Structure 1
Amino acid sequence: MKFLAASAVAFGLGLFAMTGSQAMPLAPLGATAASDGIIQVYGGCGWGGHRGPYGGCRPLYNCPPGWHPGPYGRKCFRNW
């Protein structure tokens, strides 16, 4: 019976502590993305780049014009 009472008290304290938290408050309705000063830059790599499989920056197009990447982007092949 002691265990049941102690677990009920612990559960009640947990619920009481949870009601006051604000993990994600609502944003005001008048806020816009432009006023925040945030600029999207393709994952931090800049224009013409993207993140590779291990998190490094890679060029978006890694072959010159008239060529296309082969399997896994490791070799360039001429467009015929």
Structure 2
Amino acid sequence: MKLLAASLLSLGLSLAAVSASQAMPVAPLGSPQAASADVIHVAQGCGPGWHRGPFGACRPLYSCPRGWHPGPFGRRCFPNRRW
């Protein structure tokens, strides 16, 4: 009896939690949606001119000329080694 009551309680709580969430409203797939004016598109959450680094920090977009590569923090260019 205790197991049945516990399972019904957990089922009721999970259904209540699912019905209360409004994280993403359901939209019809057939109709085209206009872009909302309050949405700002940014590159990977860092903003224009920046990108995510290897550990998730925002780094400036920086490209080195051919034959060179950026350093560990992306601030300097180092020549590629030829072995």
- Scaled by the length of structure 1, the TM-score of the pair is 0.51
- Residue 27 of structure 2: aligned partner: 27
1:25-70 Cα deviation digits (max 9, x unpaired): 213544222xx133433232413x3121231222231x2x45520x
4+ runs of 1 displaced by more than 6 Å?
none
Q: Compare the two structures and name the one with the higher helix fraction.
A: 1
- Give the share of equivalent positions with the same residue, in percent: 25
Where structure 2 has 5 or more consecutive residues not aligned to the other structure, the ranges are 72-76
**CA 1:25–1:39 in 2, change beyond 3 Å: closer, same or farther?**
closer
Size of the aligned set, in residue pairs, is 69
Q: Shift in Å at residue 15 of structure 1?
A: 5.3
Q: Shift in Å at residue 20 of structure 1?
A: 3.0
Give me the whole-angstrom Cα distance separating, in 2, the residues matched to 1:42 and 1:50. 7
Work out which of the two has the higher radius of gyration on C-alpha atoms and give 1 or 2.
1
**CA 1:40–1:4 in 2, change beyond 3 Å: closer, same or farther?**
closer
**CA 1:67–1:9 in 2, change beyond 3 Å: closer, same or farther?**
closer
Give me the whole-angstrom Cα distance separating, in 1, the residues matched to 2:5 and 2:34. 48
Where structure 1 has 5 or more consecutive residues not aligned to the other structure, the ranges are none
Give me the whole-angstrom Cα distance separating, in 2, the residues matched to 1:42 and 1:19. 31
